[in-house]
A and B are shown apart, each in its own frame.
Chain A
Amino acid sequence: MELKVDRTIDARGSYCPGPLMELIRAIREARVGEVIEVLSSDSGSKRDIPKWCQKAGHELLRVVDEQGFARFIVRKAR
């Protein structure tokens, strides 16, 4: 099933502020229910993004591995 993504953030090569900070920024600006996709080439994102989503109560819908980066698809849940 194709997911409808409301906004994509290309954070590949973002070391500072970093992909997770870009995601947090987008979540704050989004409305509840919107879906945000973050592209990250930072290996730490695989650990950090799921951890943050769990702690902050947002839904990590999918993690897709691509060549040299990963896509994280998150729904703002509250």
Chain B
Amino acid sequence: MSRRVLVVGGGTGGSIVANLLARRPDMEVTLVSREATHLYQPGLLYVPFGWVSPEQLVRPQRPLLHPRIRFLHDEVREIDPVRRVARLSAGELAADAVVLATGARLAPEEVPGMEDAHHFYSPEAAVRLRETLARLEGGHIVVGVAGVPYKCPPAPLEFALLLEWELRRTGRRSRTRITYVSPLPRAFPIESVADVVEPIMARRGIELVTFFNVERVDPARKTVSSLEGEEIPYDVLVLIPPHRGTAPVALDGIADRGGWIRTDRETLQVAGYDHVYAIGDATDLPVSKSGSAAHYQARTVAERIAAGNPGRDIRYTGKVMCFLETGERRATLLRFDYQHPPRPAPPNPVAFALKRLFNRVYWALVPTGRV
């Protein structure tokens, strides 16, 4: 007897789960996404520098999915996790297993004055930042995050390093000052990574302000201030907005106050509900919100669904693998799981070449479930 699987969300994680399960003749897979297109979000980092355009980062969703997948371009309004019934705009849909891969949304409204801050976490914002940087003659550029958690922890740091490199290449570095504000006591959450990056920042003249948890932006006075009581003036402010979960409205207790779905860190089951799983940015898992984490979680969930109800035998180990680009055609690879912290090599041209290769092969290999 075939089993019906409902995947909600067509990003990296949702696409991988759906594609892996659709290869099995005993599975009937439906994928519902609000978007008809798939965005390669890591590429947005390059848009502010004009290295790629947003159009190059978007492809239609349907061709990325196995022909056996029923793709519905629709919105899940509500899910009953007990009966496993989803209410869509176009009617109700029942399933034997549900995978929530609904991602995170940006919540700039949570920080007063955020309208004066730039970011690059949407194609529109990245293009606005590109226009501002293209006109930039000099001044003080402040880079940071306006809230935790946020997607892709290395991205704002990579942005600051790439910006420094780009300003140097275009002869504007001597007229600019770059400050990086971090909510933590160091430039990056992981100490071993901060130990690699902080000397590079110091050498390249990027000032670091630690324990700076953004509270508000004052667009009139052009200052940003922190929960800890500091105030910094800026000419250009680049702040990643706070993020929120996007759990479909459901029974109480499926999501925490931030909207993140309560998810078992190993089985990836939604707390309290058999055969309902959550993966990727939408979860409250203590791992980075990144395509890489979603990728490994998707493989675990696909295996678990294929195996029926496997107890705790098929588990997510907390695995994440991601690149950190530092400019100057260098990068380093971060690999870690719940048991092992990363031990990154010094940034090097080989990791940089691998990252650039990954950007190109993503479409053929990742959402399709080939790797």
Chain A residues packing against B (C-beta within 8 Å): 9-22, 24-25, 28-30, 42, 44, 47-48, 51-52, 55-56
Identify the closest chain A residue to B339 (Cβ): A13
Q: Chain B contacts of A25 at CB under 8 A?
A: 147-149, 258
Give B181-207 as 1s and 0s: 1 = Cβ < 8 Å from A's Cβ atoms: 001110001110100000000000000
Return A31 CB to nearest CB of chain B, in Å.
9
Identify the closest chain B residue to A7 (Cβ): B256
18 A-B pairs within 8 Å (CB atoms) are namely A12-B338, A13-B338, A14-B338, A16-B189, A16-B190, A16-B193, A16-B288, A16-B342, A17-B149, A18-B189, A21-B183, A21-B184, A22-B286, A24-B148, A28-B147, A42-B341, A48-B184, A52-B185
How long is the Cα–Cα vector from A55 to B228 in the complex, in angstroms? 6
Q: Which of B153, B183, B318 contacts A13 (CB 8 A)?
A: B318
Smallest CB-CB A-B distances: 3 pairs? A13-B338, A14-B286, A18-B189
Name, among A14, A19, A22, A51, the residue most crowded by chain B CB atoms within 10 Å (CB to CB).
A14
Q: Chain A contacts of B211 at CB under 8 A?
A: 51-52, 55-56
In the complex, the answer to whether B288 meets A17 with C-beta atoms within 8 Å is yes
In the complex, the answer to whether B185 meets A51 with C-beta atoms within 8 Å is yes
Q: Which of A16, A29, A56 contacts B228 (CB 8 A)?
A: A56
In the complex, the answer to whether A13 meets B337 with C-beta atoms within 8 Å is yes
Identify the closest chain A residue to B318 (Cβ): A13
In the complex, the answer to whether A56 meets B287 with C-beta atoms within 8 Å is no
How long is the Cα–Cα vector from A51 to B210 in the complex, in angstroms? 11
Q: Chain A contacts of B337 at CB under 8 A?
A: 13
How long is the Cα–Cα vector from A13 to B315 in the complex, in angstroms? 15
Give B136-178 as 1s and 0s: 1 = Cβ < 8 Å from A's Cβ atoms: 0000000000011100010000000000000000000000000
Name, among B148, B153, B193, the residue most crowded by chain A CB atoms within 10 Å (CB to CB).
B148
Q: Chain B contacts of A28 at CB under 8 A?
A: 147-148
Q: Chain A contacts of B193 at CB under 8 A?
A: 16
CB of B213 within 8 Å of the partner chain: yes
In the complex, the answer to whether A16 meets B287 with C-beta atoms within 8 Å is yes
Return A52 CB to nearest CB of chain B, in Å.
6
With A17-B286, A20-B189, A56-B228 already in contact, 14 other A-B pairs whose C-beta atoms are closer than 8 Å: A9-B286, A13-B286, A14-B287, A16-B288, A17-B149, A17-B189, A18-B184, A18-B189, A21-B183, A24-B148, A25-B147, A25-B148, A29-B258, A30-B257
Q: Chain A contacts of B265 at CB under 8 A?
A: 10, 13
Q: Chain B contacts of A52 at CB under 8 A?
A: 184-185, 211
CB of B46 within 8 Å of the partner chain: no
Q: Chain B contacts of A19 at CB under 8 A?
A: 286
User: Are A21 and B258 CB-contacts (below 8 A) given A15-B341, A48-B184?
Assistant: no
Return A18 CB to nearest CB of chain B, in Å.
4
Identify the closest chain A residue to B227 (Cβ): A56
Return A22 CB to nearest CB of chain B, in Å.
6
Name, among A11, A21, A24, A42, the residue most crowded by chain B CB atoms within 10 Å (CB to CB).
A21
How long is the Cα–Cα vector from A52 to B184 in the complex, in angstroms? 8
Identify the closest chain A residue to B336 (Cβ): A15
CB of B334 within 8 Å of the partner chain: yes
